Amino acid sequence: MPELDLPQRQTTDALMLAGFWYRALPADHVHRNQLHKATLLEIPLVIGRDLQGQPFALRDACPHRGMPLNRGKFDGENLECPYHGWQFDVHNGQCELIPSLTSDQTLKIDRIYAGSYPCEEQDSFIWVYISDPSPEGAGYSKPSEAPDAAPQIEKISPKYNLAYLQAEMPVSIDHGIIGLMDPAHGPFVHQAWWWRTRHSIHEKKKNFEPIPNGFRMSAHTPSSNSAPYKLLRLYADADSITTTIDFVLPNLRTETIRAGKYWFSSLTTVTPITRSHCRIDVVAAWNLFRWLPFGADLLKFVFAKFVEQDRRTMEMQAEGLKHNPHLMLIDDADRPAKWYFQLKAAHLEAKRTGVAMKHPMAGPLTLKWRS
Ligand code: FES
Ligand SMILES: [Fe+2]
Protein backbone atom coordinates (compact mmCIF):
# COMPACT_ATOMS: atom_id res chain seq x y z
CA MET A 1 0.00 0.00 0.00
CA PRO A 2 1.40 3.45 -0.84
CA GLU A 3 2.19 5.86 1.99
CA LEU A 4 -0.64 8.18 2.91
CA ASP A 5 -0.61 11.33 0.86
CA LEU A 6 -1.87 13.35 3.77
CA PRO A 7 0.85 15.08 5.74
CA GLN A 8 1.58 13.16 8.89
CA ARG A 9 1.19 14.85 12.21
CA GLN A 10 3.86 14.19 14.76
CA THR A 11 4.67 15.48 18.20
CA THR A 12 8.18 15.54 19.54
CA ASP A 13 8.54 14.05 22.98
CA ALA A 14 11.85 15.74 23.78
CA LEU A 15 12.94 12.45 25.29
CA MET A 16 16.67 12.29 25.77
CA LEU A 17 18.37 8.93 25.28
CA ALA A 18 20.68 7.65 28.00
CA GLY A 19 23.14 4.82 27.36
CA PHE A 20 25.28 6.78 24.87
CA TRP A 21 28.38 8.94 24.64
CA TYR A 22 27.81 12.69 24.37
CA ARG A 23 30.14 15.59 23.66
CA ALA A 24 30.38 17.66 26.83
CA LEU A 25 32.98 20.41 26.31
CA PRO A 26 35.67 21.34 23.79
CA ALA A 27 38.93 19.82 25.01
CA ASP A 28 40.80 23.12 24.75
CA HIS A 29 38.41 24.72 27.27
CA VAL A 30 39.29 22.19 29.96
CA HIS A 31 42.57 22.84 31.77
CA ARG A 32 44.49 20.91 34.37
CA ASN A 33 43.58 21.60 37.98
CA GLN A 34 40.51 23.58 36.97
CA LEU A 35 36.87 22.70 37.36
CA HIS A 36 34.29 23.33 34.67
CA LYS A 37 30.53 23.08 34.62
CA ALA A 38 28.58 21.28 31.90
CA THR A 39 25.05 19.97 31.53
CA LEU A 40 24.06 16.86 29.58
CA LEU A 41 20.52 15.48 29.51
CA GLU A 42 19.63 17.82 32.39
CA ILE A 43 22.38 16.25 34.49
CA PRO A 44 24.71 18.84 36.03
CA LEU A 45 28.35 17.80 35.67
CA VAL A 46 31.69 19.01 36.91
CA ILE A 47 34.47 18.29 34.44
CA GLY A 48 38.20 18.65 34.80
CA ARG A 49 41.61 17.12 34.19
CA ASP A 50 43.95 15.48 36.68
CA LEU A 51 47.69 16.18 36.98
CA GLN A 52 48.38 13.90 34.00
CA GLY A 53 45.79 15.70 31.90
CA GLN A 54 43.28 12.81 32.08
CA PRO A 55 39.73 14.15 31.93
CA PHE A 56 37.02 13.22 34.43
CA ALA A 57 33.33 13.91 34.92
CA LEU A 58 31.36 13.82 38.17
CA ARG A 59 27.79 14.71 38.97
CA ASP A 60 27.97 18.31 40.12
CA ALA A 61 26.26 17.68 43.45
CA CYS A 62 27.92 16.44 46.61
CA PRO A 63 26.36 13.16 47.80
CA HIS A 64 26.29 14.61 51.34
CA ARG A 65 24.02 17.61 50.96
CA GLY A 66 24.06 18.52 47.29
CA MET A 67 26.69 21.27 47.23
CA PRO A 68 27.90 21.90 43.66
CA LEU A 69 31.31 20.27 43.53
CA ASN A 70 32.53 22.69 40.87
CA ARG A 71 32.84 25.24 43.72
CA GLY A 72 35.16 22.93 45.62
CA LYS A 73 38.92 22.66 45.84
CA PHE A 74 40.81 20.43 43.44
CA ASP A 75 44.44 19.45 43.91
CA GLY A 76 44.78 17.50 40.68
CA GLU A 77 43.74 14.21 42.31
CA ASN A 78 40.98 14.69 44.85
CA LEU A 79 38.11 17.10 44.85
CA GLU A 80 37.12 18.62 48.17
CA CYS A 81 33.53 19.74 48.73
CA PRO A 82 33.41 23.37 49.95
CA TYR A 83 30.70 22.67 52.56
CA HIS A 84 32.05 19.99 54.95
CA GLY A 85 35.28 19.09 53.23
CA TRP A 86 34.44 15.58 52.07
CA GLN A 87 36.99 14.47 49.50
CA PHE A 88 36.36 12.39 46.40
CA ASP A 89 38.58 10.58 43.92
CA VAL A 90 37.76 12.36 40.67
CA HIS A 91 38.04 9.28 38.45
CA ASN A 92 35.61 6.97 40.21
CA GLY A 93 33.86 9.37 42.57
CA GLN A 94 34.76 7.33 45.64
CA CYS A 95 34.77 9.16 48.95
CA GLU A 96 38.28 9.35 50.43
CA LEU A 97 37.83 11.48 53.50
CA ILE A 98 35.12 12.79 55.83
CA PRO A 99 36.86 15.27 58.14
CA SER A 100 34.11 15.30 60.79
CA LEU A 101 34.51 11.59 61.66
CA THR A 102 36.26 10.78 64.92
CA SER A 103 38.73 7.91 65.12
CA ASP A 104 36.21 5.57 66.78
CA GLN A 105 33.43 6.18 64.25
CA THR A 106 33.27 3.37 61.75
CA LEU A 107 31.25 4.75 58.83
CA LYS A 108 32.43 2.94 55.69
CA ILE A 109 33.31 5.98 53.64
CA ASP A 110 34.67 3.96 50.73
CA ARG A 111 31.10 2.89 49.99
CA ILE A 112 30.08 6.48 49.37
CA TYR A 113 30.36 7.80 45.83
CA ALA A 114 29.78 11.07 44.06
CA GLY A 115 28.26 9.90 40.76
CA SER A 116 31.06 9.54 38.23
CA TYR A 117 30.76 9.14 34.48
CA PRO A 118 33.08 7.52 31.97
CA CYS A 119 34.97 10.30 30.22
CA GLU A 120 37.22 10.36 27.13
CA GLU A 121 38.99 12.91 25.02
CA GLN A 122 38.44 12.39 21.31
CA ASP A 123 38.88 14.72 18.31
CA SER A 124 38.89 18.06 20.18
CA PHE A 125 36.13 17.15 22.63
CA ILE A 126 35.66 15.73 26.10
CA TRP A 127 33.01 13.03 25.73
CA VAL A 128 30.95 11.75 28.63
CA TYR A 129 29.07 8.47 28.72
CA ILE A 130 25.62 8.92 30.20
CA SER A 131 24.77 5.52 31.54
CA ASP A 132 21.31 4.05 31.55
CA PRO A 133 19.89 4.38 34.12
CA SER A 134 22.21 7.23 35.00
CA PRO A 135 23.89 6.98 38.43
CA GLU A 136 21.79 8.78 40.95
CA GLY A 137 24.91 10.49 42.14
CA ALA A 138 24.15 10.65 45.78
CA GLY A 139 24.90 7.68 47.92
CA TYR A 140 26.31 4.34 47.17
CA SER A 141 26.17 3.98 43.40
CA LYS A 142 29.44 2.81 41.93
CA PRO A 143 30.65 4.36 38.68
CA SER A 144 29.24 2.80 35.55
CA GLU A 145 31.32 1.53 32.66
CA ALA A 146 30.90 2.42 29.01
CA PRO A 147 30.34 -0.57 26.71
CA ASP A 148 32.41 0.99 23.91
CA ALA A 149 34.76 3.90 23.17
CA ALA A 150 33.57 7.41 22.31
CA PRO A 151 32.80 7.97 18.61
CA GLN A 152 35.65 9.09 16.36
CA ILE A 153 35.90 10.98 13.12
CA GLU A 154 37.03 8.90 10.19
CA LYS A 155 40.51 9.95 9.08
CA ILE A 156 41.60 8.61 5.75
CA SER A 157 45.28 9.66 5.76
CA PRO A 158 47.67 10.30 8.66
CA LYS A 159 48.08 14.05 8.07
CA TYR A 160 45.07 16.28 8.41
CA ASN A 161 43.66 19.45 9.89
CA LEU A 162 41.02 19.40 12.57
CA ALA A 163 38.62 22.16 13.59
CA TYR A 164 35.39 22.50 15.50
CA LEU A 165 32.41 24.81 15.72
CA GLN A 166 29.60 25.04 18.26
CA ALA A 167 26.20 26.66 18.44
CA GLU A 168 23.53 26.51 21.12
CA MET A 169 19.94 26.20 19.98
CA PRO A 170 16.90 26.98 22.14
CA VAL A 171 15.02 23.92 20.87
CA SER A 172 14.71 20.30 21.96
CA ILE A 173 17.08 17.61 20.74
CA ASP A 174 14.44 16.36 18.30
CA HIS A 175 14.07 19.71 16.56
CA GLY A 176 17.84 20.10 16.50
CA ILE A 177 18.27 16.73 14.83
CA ILE A 178 15.48 16.92 12.30
CA GLY A 179 16.67 20.42 11.42
CA LEU A 180 20.10 18.98 10.78
CA MET A 181 18.85 16.26 8.44
CA ASP A 182 16.26 18.40 6.70
CA PRO A 183 17.17 18.94 3.02
CA ALA A 184 14.38 21.38 2.16
CA HIS A 185 15.45 24.43 4.16
CA GLY A 186 18.69 24.94 2.22
CA PRO A 187 17.41 27.29 -0.49
CA PHE A 188 15.64 29.47 2.09
CA VAL A 189 17.99 29.49 5.05
CA HIS A 190 21.44 29.04 3.50
CA GLN A 191 21.52 31.78 0.93
CA ALA A 192 24.58 33.90 0.31
CA TRP A 193 25.69 35.72 -2.81
CA TRP A 194 28.92 33.70 -2.91
CA TRP A 195 27.06 30.49 -2.32
CA ARG A 196 23.66 30.01 -3.76
CA THR A 197 20.37 31.79 -4.18
CA ARG A 198 16.92 30.33 -3.73
CA HIS A 199 16.69 30.15 -7.52
CA SER A 200 19.26 27.39 -7.67
CA ILE A 201 16.62 25.02 -6.27
CA HIS A 202 16.36 21.86 -8.34
CA GLU A 203 15.11 18.30 -8.15
CA LYS A 204 17.31 15.79 -6.36
CA LYS A 205 17.20 12.03 -6.02
CA LYS A 206 19.16 10.22 -3.34
CA ASN A 207 19.49 6.59 -2.37
CA PHE A 208 19.19 5.59 1.25
CA GLU A 209 19.90 2.33 3.01
CA PRO A 210 19.48 1.06 6.56
CA ILE A 211 22.60 0.70 8.74
CA PRO A 212 22.75 -0.45 12.37
CA ASN A 213 20.95 2.13 14.53
CA GLY A 214 20.55 4.51 11.63
CA PHE A 215 20.49 5.15 7.90
CA ARG A 216 22.90 6.11 5.16
CA MET A 217 22.62 8.35 2.16
CA SER A 218 24.56 6.05 -0.14
CA ALA A 219 27.80 7.17 -1.80
CA HIS A 220 26.94 9.63 -4.54
CA THR A 221 28.29 12.68 -6.31
CA PRO A 222 27.34 15.55 -4.00
CA SER A 223 24.83 18.19 -5.02
CA SER A 224 26.41 20.95 -7.01
CA ASN A 225 25.30 23.38 -4.31
CA SER A 226 26.78 21.58 -1.30
CA ALA A 227 29.55 23.27 0.65
CA PRO A 228 32.58 20.97 0.68
CA TYR A 229 31.79 19.93 -2.88
CA LYS A 230 32.43 23.42 -4.20
CA LEU A 231 35.80 23.46 -2.49
CA LEU A 232 36.74 19.99 -3.70
CA ARG A 233 35.90 20.96 -7.26
CA LEU A 234 39.04 23.05 -7.14
CA TYR A 235 41.06 19.85 -6.70
CA ALA A 236 39.46 17.04 -8.56
CA ASP A 237 37.23 16.46 -11.48
CA ALA A 238 33.58 16.55 -10.57
CA ASP A 239 32.75 12.91 -11.30
CA SER A 240 35.47 11.54 -9.05
CA ILE A 241 33.94 13.21 -5.99
CA THR A 242 31.73 11.05 -3.80
CA THR A 243 30.10 11.66 -0.49
CA THR A 244 28.45 9.39 2.07
CA ILE A 245 26.27 10.69 4.88
CA ASP A 246 25.26 8.56 7.85
CA PHE A 247 22.92 9.23 10.70
CA VAL A 248 23.21 6.99 13.74
CA LEU A 249 21.35 7.17 17.07
CA PRO A 250 21.35 9.00 19.32
CA ASN A 251 22.67 12.09 17.52
CA LEU A 252 25.58 11.37 15.17
CA ARG A 253 25.80 12.68 11.61
CA THR A 254 28.90 11.64 9.73
CA GLU A 255 29.80 12.97 6.32
CA THR A 256 32.75 11.70 4.33
CA ILE A 257 33.72 13.21 1.01
CA ARG A 258 36.48 11.78 -1.12
CA ALA A 259 38.11 13.12 -4.26
CA GLY A 260 41.11 11.06 -5.27
CA LYS A 261 43.68 11.47 -2.51
CA TYR A 262 41.81 14.36 -0.96
CA TRP A 263 39.15 13.88 1.66
CA PHE A 264 36.99 15.79 4.05
CA SER A 265 35.12 14.20 6.90
CA SER A 266 32.96 15.56 9.67
CA LEU A 267 31.14 14.33 12.72
CA THR A 268 28.27 16.57 13.78
CA THR A 269 26.40 15.93 16.99
CA VAL A 270 23.29 17.50 18.45
CA THR A 271 23.57 17.21 22.20
CA PRO A 272 20.60 17.43 24.56
CA ILE A 273 21.43 19.95 27.27
CA THR A 274 17.95 20.20 28.72
CA ARG A 275 14.52 19.24 27.42
CA SER A 276 14.30 22.57 25.63
CA HIS A 277 17.92 23.26 24.67
CA CYS A 278 20.45 21.51 22.53
CA ARG A 279 23.88 22.28 21.15
CA ILE A 280 25.34 21.52 17.74
CA ASP A 281 29.02 20.63 17.58
CA VAL A 282 30.62 20.18 14.20
CA VAL A 283 34.10 18.67 14.12
CA ALA A 284 35.76 18.37 10.73
CA ALA A 285 38.97 16.75 9.57
CA TRP A 286 40.40 17.24 6.09
CA ASN A 287 43.59 16.98 4.09
CA LEU A 288 42.88 19.56 1.40
CA PHE A 289 44.16 23.12 1.83
CA ARG A 290 46.74 21.79 4.25
CA TRP A 291 49.40 23.78 2.41
CA LEU A 292 47.29 26.93 2.40
CA PRO A 293 47.81 29.00 5.54
CA PHE A 294 44.22 30.20 5.53
CA GLY A 295 42.63 26.94 4.37
CA ALA A 296 41.32 26.10 7.81
CA ASP A 297 39.96 29.62 8.19
CA LEU A 298 38.20 29.40 4.88
CA LEU A 299 36.49 26.16 5.80
CA LYS A 300 35.64 27.48 9.23
CA PHE A 301 34.21 30.61 7.67
CA VAL A 302 31.92 28.62 5.39
CA PHE A 303 30.75 26.31 8.16
CA ALA A 304 30.38 29.05 10.75
CA LYS A 305 28.11 30.85 8.33
CA PHE A 306 25.91 27.76 7.87
CA VAL A 307 25.74 26.93 11.53
CA GLU A 308 24.89 30.53 12.39
CA GLN A 309 22.09 30.53 9.80
CA ASP A 310 20.70 27.34 11.35
CA ARG A 311 21.02 28.75 14.85
CA ARG A 312 19.15 31.94 13.96
CA THR A 313 16.45 29.91 12.24
CA MET A 314 15.95 27.67 15.26
CA GLU A 315 15.85 30.68 17.55
CA MET A 316 12.92 31.97 15.50
CA GLN A 317 11.34 28.51 15.41
CA ALA A 318 11.55 28.34 19.21
CA GLU A 319 9.13 31.26 19.40
CA GLY A 320 6.53 29.29 17.48
CA LEU A 321 7.23 26.11 19.41
CA LYS A 322 6.41 27.80 22.72
CA HIS A 323 2.78 27.10 21.99
CA ASN A 324 3.37 23.40 21.45
CA PRO A 325 2.12 23.00 17.91
CA HIS A 326 1.93 19.64 16.16
CA LEU A 327 4.50 18.91 13.50
CA MET A 328 3.85 17.88 9.96
CA LEU A 329 6.28 15.62 8.24
CA ILE A 330 5.81 15.33 4.49
CA ASP A 331 7.23 12.91 1.96
CA ASP A 332 9.83 12.73 0.69
CA ALA A 333 11.71 15.69 2.13
CA ASP A 334 10.86 14.84 5.74
CA ARG A 335 11.28 11.09 5.41
CA PRO A 336 14.68 11.13 7.17
CA ALA A 337 12.99 12.93 10.08
CA LYS A 338 10.33 10.21 10.19
CA TRP A 339 13.06 7.58 10.25
CA TYR A 340 14.68 9.38 13.15
CA PHE A 341 11.49 9.20 15.22
CA GLN A 342 10.93 5.58 14.22
CA LEU A 343 14.51 4.63 15.10
CA LYS A 344 14.18 6.29 18.46
CA ALA A 345 10.90 4.50 19.15
CA ALA A 346 12.37 1.15 17.99
CA HIS A 347 15.42 1.67 20.22
CA LEU A 348 13.25 2.38 23.27
CA GLU A 349 11.01 -0.57 22.48
CA ALA A 350 14.03 -2.88 22.20
CA LYS A 351 15.25 -1.65 25.57
CA ARG A 352 11.87 -2.14 27.14
CA THR A 353 11.39 -5.67 25.84
CA GLY A 354 15.00 -6.87 25.70
CA VAL A 355 14.37 -8.07 22.15
CA ALA A 356 16.79 -6.95 19.39
CA MET A 357 15.85 -3.64 17.80
CA LYS A 358 13.63 -3.87 14.76
CA HIS A 359 14.92 -1.49 12.11
CA PRO A 360 12.15 0.70 10.72
CA MET A 361 13.54 0.60 7.14
CA ALA A 362 12.82 -2.56 5.19
CA GLY A 363 15.66 -2.00 2.71
CA PRO A 364 17.30 0.53 0.39
CA LEU A 365 15.09 3.12 -1.27
CA THR A 366 15.24 6.36 -3.23
CA LEU A 367 13.88 9.69 -2.07
CA LYS A 368 13.15 12.71 -4.24
CA TRP A 369 12.80 16.35 -3.33
CA ARG A 370 13.64 19.82 -4.60
CA SER A 371 16.29 21.83 -2.81
S1 FES B 1 27.65 18.98 51.24
FE2 FES B 1 29.50 18.26 50.51
S3 FES B 1 30.58 17.73 52.25
FE4 FES B 1 28.66 18.29 53.00
FE1 LIG C 1 20.96 23.97 7.81
Distance 98 CA to ligand 1 centre (A): 9
Q: What are the Cα distances from residue 60, in Å, to 40, 72, 144, 148, 153? A: 11, 10, 16, 24, 29
Is the bond preceding residue 250 a cis peptide, omega within 30 degrees?
yes
- The rounded distance, in Å, linking the Cα atoms of 294 and 278 is 30
Phi, psi of 156, deg, nearest 5: -95, -25
Q: Which atom of ligand 1 is nearest to the CA of 62?
A: 2
**27-31, 148-152, 222-226, 318-322: range with lowest mean pLDDT:** 222-226
Task: Give the DSSP H/E element, type plus range, for residue 107.
Answer: none
- Over the stretch 40-49, which tens digit does the pLDDT of each residue have? 999 999 999 9
CB distance 62 to ligand 1 below 6 Å: yes
Tally of residues, the chain: 371
| Ligand number, closest to the Cα atom of 314 | 2
Model pLDDT, residue 228: 62
Probe target for ligand 1 pocket from 62, 71, 78, 100, with the most ligand atoms within 8 Å of CB:
62
Q: What are the Cα distances from residue 237, in Å, to 170, 232, 241, 336? A: 41, 9, 7, 30
Q: Which atom of ligand 1 is nearest to the CA of 72?
A: 2
**In the structure, what pLDDT confidence band is assigned to residue 3 with cuts at 50, 70 and 90?**
very low
Model pLDDT, residue 131: 87
| Residue closest by Cα to atom 3 of ligand 1 | 84
Query: How many other CB atoms are there within 10 angstroms of residue 224's CB atom?
Result: 13
- The rounded distance, in Å, linking the Cα atoms of 47 and 31 is 10
Report which of 181, 179, 215 is spatially closest to residue 366, judged by C-alpha positions. 215
- Over the stretch 261-309, which tens digit does the pLDDT of each residue have? 888 899 999 999 999 999 999 999 988 766 666 667 777 777 888 899 9
Hey, what amino acid is at 236?
A: A
Q: Which atom of ligand 1 is nearest to the CA of 81?
A: 2
Under 8 Å between Cβ of 40 and 271:
yes
Could you give the 3-state DSSP secondary structure of residue 371?
coil
pTM of the predicted structure, to 2 decimals: 0.91
| Residue closest by Cα to atom 1 of ligand 1 | 65
pLDDT over threshold 70, residue 67: yes
- The rounded distance, in Å, linking the Cα atoms of 58 and 115 is 6
- Over the stretch 95-139, which tens digit does the pLDDT of each residue have? 999 999 999 999 999 999 999 999 999 999 999 999 877 555 455
Is the bond preceding residue 237 a cis peptide, omega within 30 degrees?
no
Phi, psi of 311, deg, nearest 5: -60, -45
Distance 366 CA to ligand 1 centre (A): 58
- The rounded distance, in Å, linking the Cα atoms of 75 and 158 is 37
**In the structure, what pLDDT confidence band is assigned to residue 347 with cuts at 50, 70 and 90?**
very high
Q: Which atom of ligand 1 is nearest to the CA of 67?
A: 1
| Ligand number, closest to the Cα atom of 176 | 2
Q: Alpha-carbon Rg of the chain, whole angstroms?
A: 23
Distance 344 CA to ligand 2 centre (A): 22
- The rounded distance, in Å, linking the Cα atoms of 222 and 186 is 14
- Over the stretch 351-367, which tens digit does the pLDDT of each residue have? 999 999 999 999 999 99
